Chain A
């Protein structure tokens, strides 16, 4: 078969308009997408299978062979390995949600070119879901401390950060399919996969973790095709001026939803869990999000009437503090988590001050105090440094402490007989657009209000296999391991900060 272009044209001619049985409208969309557009995916399945098979062989081969025999993950920096316990399960749901998103797009978007691209992406997303679950299991087998990896997919269902991750990633497939594509392909894949799958591999490798780069770079080789899907979808949407008013609103919302979770989370993973330090998340963000995504990619769409996301300037301004605040919240609430935390050293703090001038003045005191609270015999947890836990945002599920606890943009308001907190203008605006989209669940505090911290830990199985030592620890010091008795003795109640506020 020589004439590839002709073959491709013929396989795009499968679509027809049903006339015998009406297909139900399964995923309503407001968008009008032209039936013919640019082609994002110029592969036949035959070529696709052989290309992906080869990539699989290379990646799984590397993991199964040299890296496993040398037990490489056991020698990686433990600080770094700990955060993979929470980062990989979040990411994994992103892939799984993406598979569902492409199913919706295949169903809804009557455009043969785009549909071919979505089909390959659908199978790619199964690939990534499998690869990341494989990596979690690989770490369960090889990491110095497997606890947490062995139950990561269970723990993610209750964990406060994993919940926020799920909230952000449900946007990929719960809503108008094009809105899903904006969240998935245009913002998350085109904007954020570079800092996640490319930049983070540098940190992983520098910290002795060679398995993650093998997997992530193999994933990223598929992502470039997904970015092409995103661009073609977006180009198709902007080509009809009728779409523009809601396209801009959906795009604004998509950017904010992804930013509100990904930047504080990925930033904390990146900066607070590297031991052998290199670049900062702030630097990578400027390179990939500000210069590349907004500066080049979104700019190119300006002639069609699409503007940079409405809350982008605000997001950029927050970037100075965002993930430092998130990291502080994560470390302060360590007993709620399922991984171990390594206190910052003086050298770490110098690095932070160098990379983020002004950092020490805001956060230095917390880290000094945190370092004094790692020994269970001192009977102190860093939660005691704060008056109460912060409320969680009704929309993004992140703690309402941003950009900084001393200058938070949090607001609380009543709706339908209940009080709801919002992390700032954007999430409140998004809620007000259509409140019913965000009210069908209970927040972490609604689930656990009044629960003793030790009971929370027991109920969620956050104990190691000896049945008494906590899964999470405030340090990597094996001689200062906290047990459930240490936590129970503190009698800390999980309290819904909105409990006493009456609508």
Chain B
């Protein structure tokens, strides 16, 4: 018998492409599962009787959650490298703007009303989402899923912190600018109560897949799009502000990435070869409907913020219409025929 060639790579992972990627090698099957390799069940239960992971942590059903792959193929090293780059870009932009005197060009009303009053409140919303995703990573039913939730959580905290640090920079650069009253506005300003309600409703979601679908199919495309991209990023240049849009563009990059893996997750569970694909489709469409309605409600309240933009470029209704159109197209993409083999 001729000697078979001894493999020099992991043999228990089915690569998505022809060869096992570095991402797959360092991620796949790091989460144990009695239905995969771990024989005999979980060794420990909580006092309340639950086990390490539970299939009922989501209403979606899939025969093998470990099939999921992050389209961005991120693992810790590539994630941290990317976020470090983004933060360096922000740091440099702020430093250059300070040295070049660019902050003097900022419209003072813009700085006070939109950056100081509105953008600061956004840090609380992001923090709420950080908490949602940090908890959801604990429950997700595979390592490839747990990691994308974990990275999404850190994305949110990064944005929340970036806002705080940036406003401190502005305090040093713009005469009379003070970062005060953000938390009070978040807690009691009527304009932001629908937004806070939305954050708290997201925090109450007890299904990790629902959280991803709600956030990336409804909340981000509507709320983040209007509250951050339209109001702040798009209007910055009209108010002499070339710096804030750069910070927001780094979070939009994160947003696109998170949207893509969520779409991949949806494709995976509604693929025709998945036994529960029809039921999954119904559940997901239900989630999108519920959260779209909730997000729209919170979005309407942002009209009052829009009205405070000194030099508004177009109307709030136009901005909303663009966001709704894009979000509707995204939601319409949830089609079983687009489901590819998982």
Is this pair of chains taken from one and the same complex?
yes
Name A residues whose Cβ lies closer than 8 Å to a Cβ of B.
Answer: 1-3, 6-7, 10-11, 13-16, 18-24, 26, 28, 44-46, 49-50, 52-53, 56, 60, 92-93, 96, 99-100, 102-104, 106-107, 119, 122-123, 126-127, 129-131, 133-134, 136-137, 140-141, 146-147, 150-151, 153-158, 163, 166-167, 170-171, 173-176, 397, 434, 436-438, 440-444, 446-447, 464-468
In the bound complex, what is the Cα–Cα distance between A151 and B7 (angstroms)? 10
Residue pairs across A and B with Cβ atoms less than 8 A apart, 26 shown, are A1-B91, A1-B169, A16-B186, A49-B87, A52-B84, A60-B77, A92-B30, A96-B32, A119-B134, A122-B137, A127-B77, A129-B26, A133-B26, A137-B25, A141-B9, A154-B29, A163-B39, A166-B32, A167-B44, A174-B52, A437-B45, A438-B45, A441-B40, A441-B42, A465-B4, A465-B7
The verdict on B68 contacting chain A, using a C-beta distance below 8 Å, is no
Contacts of B147 in A (CB 8 A): 126
In the bound complex, what is the Cα–Cα distance between A146 and B147 (angstroms)? 28
Residues A49 and B84 in contact, CB atoms below 8 Å apart: yes
Contacts of B169 in A (CB 8 A): 1
- Chain B: minimal CB distance from A22 (Å): 7
In the bound complex, what is the Cα–Cα distance between A243 and B294 (angstroms)? 40
Contacts of A434 in B (CB 8 A): 47
Residues B183 and A16 in contact, CB atoms below 8 Å apart: yes
Contacts of A126 in B (CB 8 A): 75-76, 147, 150
In the bound complex, what is the Cα–Cα distance between A146 and B38 (angstroms)? 22
- As a 0/1 sequence over residues 29 to 52 of chain B, the CB contacts with chain A under 8 angstroms (1 = contact) are 111100011111111111111111
Contacts of A15 in B (CB 8 A): 127
Residues B206 and A174 in contact, CB atoms below 8 Å apart: no
Determine which residue in A141, A170, A444 has the highest number of CB atoms from chain B within 10 A of its CB, and name it. A170
Given A122-B150, A150-B9, A174-B51, CB of A53 within 8 Å of CB of B158? no
Residues B9 and A127 in contact, CB atoms below 8 Å apart: no
Residues B12 and A154 in contact, CB atoms below 8 Å apart: yes
Residues B47 and A53 in contact, CB atoms below 8 Å apart: no
Contacts of A99 in B (CB 8 A): 137, 146, 150
In the bound complex, what is the Cα–Cα distance between A189 and B50 (angstroms)? 25
Q: 15 other contacts beyond A157-B37, A175-B47, A437-B47, with CB at 8 A cut-off?
A: A1-B169, A14-B123, A18-B200, A46-B90, A96-B31, A100-B138, A104-B135, A106-B135, A126-B147, A150-B11, A174-B44, A440-B45, A441-B40, A465-B4, A465-B6
The verdict on B203 contacting chain A, using a C-beta distance below 8 Å, is yes
The verdict on B27 contacting chain A, using a C-beta distance below 8 Å, is yes
In the bound complex, what is the Cα–Cα distance between A7 and B76 (angstroms)? 26
In the bound complex, what is the Cα–Cα distance between A1 and B130 (angstroms)? 23
Of B159-167, B273-281, B314-322, the stretch lying at the interface with chain A is B159-167
Residues A10 and B30 in contact, CB atoms below 8 Å apart: no
Residues A49 and B43 in contact, CB atoms below 8 Å apart: no
- Chain A: minimal CB distance from B84 (Å): 4
The verdict on B291 contacting chain A, using a C-beta distance below 8 Å, is no
In the bound complex, what is the Cα–Cα distance between A141 and B154 (angstroms)? 33
Residues A104 and B9 in contact, CB atoms below 8 Å apart: no
The verdict on B256 contacting chain A, using a C-beta distance below 8 Å, is no
The verdict on B313 contacting chain A, using a C-beta distance below 8 Å, is no
Residues A441 and B43 in contact, CB atoms below 8 Å apart: yes
Given A14-B127, A153-B37, CB of A107 within 8 Å of CB of B138? yes
- In the complex, the chain B residue whose C-beta lies closest to that of A104 is B138
Given A119-B154, A133-B26, A466-B4, CB of A153 within 8 Å of CB of B10? yes
Contacts of A19 in B (CB 8 A): 200
Residues B32 and A93 in contact, CB atoms below 8 Å apart: yes
In the bound complex, what is the Cα–Cα distance between A107 and B130 (angstroms)? 10
Partner of A20, one of B9, B131, B200: B200
- In the complex, the chain A residue whose C-beta lies closest to that of B91 is A46
Determine which residue in B43, B88, B94, B197 has the highest number of CB atoms from chain A within 10 A of its CB, and name it. B43
Given A23-B203, A93-B32, CB of A137 within 8 Å of CB of B26? yes
- In the complex, the chain A residue whose C-beta lies closest to that of B90 is A46
The verdict on B220 contacting chain A, using a C-beta distance below 8 Å, is no
Partner of B135, one of A14, A107, A140, A155: A107
Residues A156 and B46 in contact, CB atoms below 8 Å apart: no
In the bound complex, what is the Cα–Cα distance between A176 and B157 (angstroms)? 25
- Chain A: minimal CB distance from B116 (Å): 13
Name B residues whose Cβ lies closer than 8 Å to a Cβ of A.
Answer: 1, 3-12, 22, 25-27, 29-32, 36-52, 75-77, 80-81, 83-84, 87-88, 90-91, 94, 123-124, 127, 130-131, 134-135, 137-138, 143, 146-147, 150, 153-154, 157-158, 160-162, 164-165, 168-169, 172, 179, 183, 186-187, 193, 196-197, 200-201, 203-204, 206
- Chain A: minimal CB distance from B30 (Å): 5
Residues B7 and A103 in contact, CB atoms below 8 Å apart: no
Residues A130 and B76 in contact, CB atoms below 8 Å apart: yes
Residues A46 and B165 in contact, CB atoms below 8 Å apart: yes
- In the complex, the chain B residue whose C-beta lies closest to that of A6 is B168
Partner of A11, one of B46, B161, B172, B197: B161
Residues A156 and B164 in contact, CB atoms below 8 Å apart: no
Residues A440 and B154 in contact, CB atoms below 8 Å apart: no
Residues B124 and A16 in contact, CB atoms below 8 Å apart: yes
- In the complex, the chain A residue whose C-beta lies closest to that of B197 is A20
In the bound complex, what is the Cα–Cα distance between A22 and B11 (angstroms)? 46
Residues B38 and A166 in contact, CB atoms below 8 Å apart: yes
Contacts of A10 in B (CB 8 A): 164, 168, 179
Contacts of A23 in B (CB 8 A): 200, 203-204
Contacts of A176 in B (CB 8 A): 46-47
Residues B9 and A157 in contact, CB atoms below 8 Å apart: no
In the bound complex, what is the Cα–Cα distance between A444 and B1 (angstroms)? 34
- Chain B: minimal CB distance from A272 (Å): 25
Contacts of A446 in B (CB 8 A): 40
Residues B40 and A444 in contact, CB atoms below 8 Å apart: yes
Residues A21 and B138 in contact, CB atoms below 8 Å apart: no
- Chain A: minimal CB distance from B112 (Å): 18
Residues B168 and A171 in contact, CB atoms below 8 Å apart: no
- Chain A: minimal CB distance from B251 (Å): 13
- Chain A: minimal CB distance from B145 (Å): 12
Across the A-B interface, the 8 shortest Cβ-Cβ residue pairs:
A157-B37, A103-B138, A441-B41, A14-B127, A49-B84, A167-B43, A157-B38, A20-B197
Residues B168 and A7 in contact, CB atoms below 8 Å apart: yes
Given A13-B183, A150-B8, CB of A170 within 8 Å of CB of B44? yes
In the bound complex, what is the Cα–Cα distance between A80 and B183 (angstroms)? 56
- In the complex, the chain A residue whose C-beta lies closest to that of B133 is A103
Residues B47 and A465 in contact, CB atoms below 8 Å apart: no
Partner of A153, one of B6, B30, B131, B200: B30
- Chain A: minimal CB distance from B243 (Å): 13
Given A20-B201, A438-B44, CB of A26 within 8 Å of CB of B134? no
Partner of B42, one of A134, A174, A464: A174
- In the complex, the chain A residue whose C-beta lies closest to that of B4 is A465
- In the complex, the chain A residue whose C-beta lies closest to that of B13 is A153
Contacts of B9 in A (CB 8 A): 137, 140-141, 150
Residues A7 and B131 in contact, CB atoms below 8 Å apart: no
Given A45-B158, A157-B36, CB of A123 within 8 Å of CB of B76? yes
Contacts of B77 in A (CB 8 A): 56, 60, 127, 130
Contacts of B80 in A (CB 8 A): 49, 52-53, 56, 123, 127
Contacts of A437 in B (CB 8 A): 44-47
Partner of A119, one of B8, B48, B157, B203: B157
Residues A50 and B84 in contact, CB atoms below 8 Å apart: yes
- In the complex, the chain B residue whose C-beta lies closest to that of A25 is B48
Contacts of B138 in A (CB 8 A): 100, 103-104, 107, 173
Residues A44 and B161 in contact, CB atoms below 8 Å apart: yes
Residues B161 and A45 in contact, CB atoms below 8 Å apart: yes
- Chain B: minimal CB distance from A397 (Å): 7
